Amino acid sequence: MDSTAIIDALLRENPGDPSWFEPVDSADGMPTVYVLAEHLVDTCRVLRDSPELRFVLLADITAVDYLPRTPRFEVIYLLVCPGTSGFGTTPRRLRLKVRLPAGATIPTVSTVWPAANWAERELYDMFGIVVEGHPDLRRILMPEDWEGHPGLRDYPVQIKMPVKTYEPLQLTEQEFVANIETARSQSHRE
């Protein structure tokens, strides 16, 4: 199934405008389709549920920063139809891509594939791409107080940063005892 056949199947399942999708050739021969960000979630749902397509597995989400090109980002979803155990008939792969201008947001697909949760957190952490509707959009690999997003092409890599250290929480003996007693009295009152 090549990328145009996948688009045809998509349009059969979920009538829409063919201009939402754009098939492209890829160097590794994997079917590749661009989709508009506003139709991403619907498309993903059809890709997962349609008996013809059955892309039940989200292998990975990644992004590429094409600075200074506009639109700046491409977000890439690697999908797999395993083709066994009742999940599709033949193993297939699809690369779904979304062009994203700098500062734009992308809707979450974690409602379609729960696996997208952490992958989208990494997307936010590395590229600063805000994922709309995400249940828990925090940094995942970098510390929470880190400045900047290291995946960006204009992120400085040759600079020296002072090593950040954290002081352990310091309590005096009186404060410690007071804390314990407050907690104890609270739990007894309940």
Partner 1 sequence: MPQLETTPELRTETMTVNMGPQHPSTHGVLRLVLELSGETVVNADTTVGYLHTGIEKTAEQKKWQQVIPLVERMDYLGAQSNSLAFCLAVEKLLGVEMPDRVTDIRVLIAELQRIASHLVWMATHALEIGAVSVMMYCFRERELLLNINEMLAGFRMFPSYLRIGGLREDLPADFHKTVKEFLDRFGPKLDEYEGLLTRNQIWLKRTKGVGVLSMQDTLDYGLVGPIARAAGVAYDVRRAFPYLGYDTYEFDVPVGSAGDVYDRYLVRVEEMRQSASISRQALERITPRGVYDIQDYRIVPPPKDKVYTEMEALIQHFLIYSQGFTVPAGEAYVPVEGPRGEHGFSIVSDGTNRPYRIKLRAPSFYACQGLPKLIVGGMIADVIAVIGSTDVVMGDVDR
List of residues contacting partner 1 (CB under 8 A)? 26-28, 30, 56-60, 62, 64-65, 76, 78, 80, 82-85, 87, 91, 93, 95, 113-115, 117-119, 139-143, 150-151, 155, 157, 187-188, 190
Alpha-carbon gap, residue 96 to 49, rounded angstroms: 16
Closest distance to partner 1 from the beta carbon of 137 (Å): 15
Nearer residue to partner 1 within complex by CB, 39 or 97: 97
Closest distance to partner 1 from the beta carbon of 92 (Å): 9
Alpha-carbon gap, residue 115 to 20, rounded angstroms: 25
Closest distance to partner 1 from the beta carbon of 90 (Å): 9
Whether 143 and 136 have beta carbons less than 8 Å apart is answered as: no
Query: Considering only CA atoms, which of 94, 90, 89 is closest in space to residue 77?
Result: 94
Half-sphere exposure of 162 (CA within 13 A, CB side): 3
Whole-number CA gyration radius for the chain: 23
CA 15 to chain CA centroid, nearest Å: 26
Nearer residue to partner 1 within complex by CB, 36 or 57: 57
Nearer residue to partner 1 within complex by CB, 13 or 87: 87
Nearer residue to partner 1 within complex by CB, 58 or 131: 58
48 residue type, one letter: R
Closest distance to partner 1 from the beta carbon of 15 (Å): 27
